[in-house]
Amino acid sequence: MANFKTHLSLSAAAGIAATGIAVNLQLIAYTHMPWFIFLVVVGGMLPDIDADNSRPVKLLFSLLAILGMFAVLHAFKNDYAPHRLLMIAAASYLLVRYGVAALFNRFTEHRGVFHSFLAALFFALQATCISFYFLHWNAVDAWLNGVFVAIGFIVHLLLDEIYSVDLSNSRMKKSFGTAMKLCSYRNIMASVLMLVCTMALYWLTPSPLPLVKVSKAAFLGNPSIARRYFSPS
């Protein structure tokens, strides 16, 4: 499979390309390119969330913990006094960085259910729900966040499959077919659980129709469709 440096660099390249297209279609503002590139990079590291406790995985959980901390700060900034809010944010960071990471290391296997298209959909919907309900972004921006996470995720799966082909010896490595799959065929219970969670997330997400309409207008080159970026719903 591709190493961490390869995943990081190619995810960033894919993020630049995807955001460039989105800006050209007027789906996102030029000033928000760094944010969406960042989402693609995060998505590009998510499939390795079930790997051993290596440096890349520690970095991934650190990033997720930081994102969770800022999400908490943004969501509850008007509900608690500053000192209590900082304590809650710090607790959320520690929970994700050490608690959730330990659970993943204990109950998951590498190249399992998190290396699948089902997992890509799961994380995309999760990002959409977090953006809509906790960060209070409108439906279009929330769905765009989910889409860009999914782009990075699928780039990771594709790279792992490409690196499973030994072109010099014209053979397939044993890892071929373990990355780009619909779900985990070796652990059906894990796949069923993720499917149930994915269906629940889809039920919670806002309607995707606003994004569909905006995207259709963008591809048809209709400049009369105006929208405010990252505005509250």
The DSSP symbol for 207 reads P
Q: What is the pLDDT of residue 179?
A: 60
Whether residue 42 contacts residue 153, with contact meaning beta carbons closer than 8 Å, is answered with no
228 within domain boundaries: no
Task: Look up the domain containing 179 and give its range.
Answer: 4-51+110-219
> What stretches in the chain show pLDDT beneath 70?
1-3, 50-56, 105-112, 163-179, 222-233
139 within domain boundaries: yes
97 within domain boundaries: no
Q: What is the pLDDT of residue 73?
A: 85
129 within domain boundaries: yes
Q: What is the pLDDT of residue 56?
A: 63
Q: What is the pLDDT of residue 205?
A: 94
Tally the domains of the chain.
1
Q: What is the pLDDT of residue 3?
A: 67
Q: Name the token pair of 214.
A: 């905006």
196 within domain boundaries: yes
Whether residue 211 contacts residue 143, with contact meaning beta carbons closer than 8 Å, is answered with yes
Q: Name the token pair of 209.
A: 């129709």
